[in-house]
Amino acid sequence: MVTENQEVDSRLVDYLKSIWGNLQALSEEFAAKRGSDMHEEGSPSILGEMALQLNAGLFREIYKHSLKKQMKLKEKWWSPLVDLVKKLFIRRERSLQGVEFNLYQVVTGLDSVFQLACKLHCPPGQELTDDEWKVVYYDSVWANLKARLVLADQNNFGCELLAQELNGTPLLTPIMVLGKSI
């Protein structure tokens, strides 16, 4: 984005400086925790509220900067994804397991994120409370973790196979539930 062959907007420069400042603060906290023993393996973890504040603050700034793009993506794919999960939920008689349950958790986690993000987006300029930002942060991280599990399933074809099944297209391979093919 920065290296495009056009003039860089001053807002982008300010945004990048702010992100860089947050990353420097995070680095300084790690360095202070490490102390004088530079031969320690790996970086020490920052405990408690300090880690949450630094990580959530960085997350908040990046999230707000990319909100417009996120809302466009949501408008494009959210309804079909929710419909897929609803159909799956009905077809499995409310008994989701494995990749199906992880997909359901992605949707529920993102639903709470989107409900709060809509407060920022419509009308623009409204702000979330610190507690609401914590929900957005934790639910986004959780949904991301679950999405990785979904995408890793069936060599990245788990969702495709579910969509084919729900649309009546014969599956190339059977779906496995509790080690049994269905």
Instruction: Report residue 180's pLDDT band, with 50, 70 and 90 as the boundaries.
Output: very low
pLDDT (tens digit per residue) in 29-56? 767 766 555 566 665 565 556 667 777 7
Which pair of tokens denotes residue 88?
A: 């799956």
Lowest mean pLDDT among 21-35, 60-74, 131-145: 21-35
Q: What does the alpha-carbon distance between residue 32 and residue 58 come to, in Å, rounded to a whole number?
A: 19
% pLDDT > 70, the chain: 72
The model's pTM: 0.66
At residue 38, the pLDDT reads 57
At residue 111, the pLDDT reads 92
pLDDT (tens digit per residue) in 137-154? 899 989 999 888 888 766
Among 62, 81, 66, 49, which residue's Cα sits nearest to residue 22?
62
Q: For residues 158 and 151, is the Cβ–Cβ distance under 8 A?
A: yes
